[in-house]
Amino acid sequence: MKKGYYGNWGGQYISELLMPAIIELENAFEEIKNADEFLDELKDLLQNYSGRPTPVTFCPNLSKELDLEIYLKREDLNHTGAHKINNALGQALLAKKLGKKRIIAETGAGQHGVATATACARLGLECEVYMGEVDCQRQAINVYRMELLGAKVNRVQSGTKTLKDAINEALRDWSSSVETTHYLLGSALGAHPFPEIVTYFQSVIGIEARQQILETANKLPDYVVACVGGGSNAIGIFKGFLDDENVKLIGVEAGGKGIDTNEHASRMCDPINSKPGIFQGSKTYVLQENFGQIRNTYSVSAGLDYCAIGPEHTHLSDIGRAKYDYLTDEWAIKGFKMLSEMEGIIPALESSHAVGYVIKNHKLHKPGEMILINLSGRGDKDLMSVINYEKEN
């Protein structure tokens, strides 16, 4: 496999202005990822600051209702409320070792921005976050959290005013500030080495989950299910089970108002608009118009509202190791409410896509099959989005 590629996908399609920073980052990561001092410091942060390991929780009521064995990997119990802190702490620590004093980041739902602001506060780094104006409005609480943590939040007014536009602005910033700034990318996408770096820091999810489920249930799950926006939480848990051929992996994208509408964010399931393309640094599947213009996307979940998918997910689909499907807003809201009511756990709207997918398709499973769902975050941030959705529907 060529460096930076997953099969035919990935690569390093980026401005010449950024190549020195990319090469510096790649070399530093290769050197530091096996360095005892770095790993010990990161382990201490994850355990004693973020709260790892996160538990695996059995859902007795949902399991009885669906006639399945449902377990959750509880990334919602991390400090800041989502899996994003794993990567934010890792990259911020890496940047500090590189001598970078300023961190920039993009965010959609706000969780990566909050995690980055948190890591910067802890490590004494300057922080700026780019966030689309639409996302700022529907995730106003997270905007305030970032500012409270000392970050400057730049509201992006261009394009659809969502995640892809926030990434564009962050890349523009980085192009003019590479000597002092590290771009702390939040998902397993973009130019090499970012997909590899993010996957490395998020793989702790799958490593923990595999050991925990064996200790708890004395067997591996039949299925591992995770939501997929850019793909960091999904690739994080998938990594723990890739070599277990009997464990089926399912990634759930945002179906929005339906795959037959223009209001969705399913890159792997839209037979008309999803095409191979080069976008924001890598070759992957991208929602496009006939002449290559990027299609607007939509999801009730800000964190899944993105037009491309991480290149390793595209590769896993190609080789048949993982299946990618979609879920509409309606079913995601059902998943959100059902898990809350039956188990006392309020999931993020992103994670609700994975929960809702299992609920919707439970009759396709054999009774008693074990399903492990990655609960990537908690739903406090999404309460107003759900309230507004219910008013409108």
- Per DSSP, the three-state class of 10 is strand
Contacts of 100 (CB under 8 A, 6+ apart): 125, 180, 181, 182
**What is the pairing mode between strands 5-6 and 126-132?**
unpaired
**First-residue to last-residue Cα distance in the chain:** 48
Task: From the candidates 59, 120, 127, 227, give the one annotated as an active-site residue.
Answer: 59
The strands making up 152-156's β-sheet, listed across from edge to edge, are 152-156, 126-132, 102-107, 181-183
Structure token pair of residue 263: 């209001």
CA gap 7, 317 in Å, rounded: 11
Task: From the candidates 79, 83, 313, 353, give the one annotated as an active-site residue.
Answer: 83
227 a catalytic residue: no
83 a catalytic residue: yes
- Whole-angstrom CA distances from 278 to 21, 282, 308 are 20, 5, 9
For residue 327, the cross-strand partners are 254
The residues assigned a catalytic role are 59, 83
